[in-house]
A = this chain, B = another copy of it.
Amino acid sequence: MGRRGTIVTFGEAMLRFTPPSLQRIEQASAFELWVAGAELNVAVALARLGEPATWVSRLPDNALGRRLAGHARANGVAVDVEWDPQGRLGLLFVEVGQRPRRTASLYDRDASAFATLDPAAFDWPALLDGARAFHTSGITPALSPACAQATADALKAAQDAGCHTSFDLNYRALLGTSEEARTKVEALAPQIDTLIASAGETKAVFGLEGEPADVAAALRDRLGIERVVISSRIDTGHATQVRRSVCVDADIVQADSAEFVTVDPLGGGDAFSAGFLAGLLADGARRGLELGGAMAALKQTIPGDFAILDPGEVEELAGGSTYAGTRR
């Protein structure tokens, strides 16, 4: 019973605990409570742009799980969750750092309600009924064999339903080796219309290095995916910028985001994915880079993982993008 035109995302979300005021976990006497999860972050960012978005997941039916679902609904996402009467919620402890101290994440997601899902419990044709697009990331299949099966099922069903399918590589060394990640994405590639990745990930997983445009082209050729988007960070000393290239057929479009001051880096890539999808589906890849770059820059000025944005401010910033298009 999907909503007309919705974009469906699928993945785990966790409660995220962060010490206030740049403290370390070992100092904190209280933790701020956020919600984190790549695919839910994408759904939230889409909903903030005014796009109907549905998040499919599995949560324990306890106060923590309800807290998480409420936070998603508060941000306008339709929550289509299987409630697990027993399981545990995945947790994430994040310290936000300042140079040279890194933002550090401590995951506690083993054996979560999501990781222990039953793939047969998800009726994908029904979940995707009326959907326009489907999105997930490399984290989902890496969580457990059952999750890998569910990811494959979902992508297949999405392709069958005529949805646009997108996949964020999101390689996490804690969840598996780079070989495992590569094998998984190669197997899923035939069902993927758009692949999104960072330069760091493509180096780790595919051994590809170079300018975003070159990596995008090489990866497109290698995986046979129609559209590949690659991002690469530029540190300007006092702020950050991201250069992103998307390769479709022989065309490459490239754009540098606005400079931004990082208040909380988590969820920046997910905000990009959301903006890219919204722009791509409305008006092509160039528009996707515009919206995605603006959303990612704004998101990183906001505490927490969610892109609590306003279409107006996104549009205002997106208007200032600079492009460099090439034909290879």
Contacts and interface: CB of A to CB of B under 8 A. Distances in A.
B64 A70 contact: no
A222 interface: no
Contacts of A98: 260-261, 263, 301
A interface, over-half SS: loop
Contact of A73 (B23, B32, B73, B110): B73
A261 B22 CA distance: 12
Contacts of A75: 70
Contact of A297 (B64, B100, B301): B100
Contact of A298 (B25, B100, B237): B100
B301 A99 contact: yes
A71 B259 CA distance: 32
Contact of A308 (B20, B27, B74, B237): B27
Given A100-B259, A100-B297, A302-B101, A29 B29 contact: yes
Query: What is the copy number of this chain in the assembly?
Result: 6
Interface residues of A, number: 60
Contact of A304 (B20, B27, B91, B302): B27
Interface in A70-104: 70-71, 73-76, 88-89, 91, 93, 95, 97-102
Interface of A: 17, 20-33, 62-64, 66-67, 70-71, 73-76, 88-89, 91, 93, 95, 97-102, 106, 108, 110-111, 236-239, 258-261, 263, 297-298, 301-304, 306, 308, 313, 317
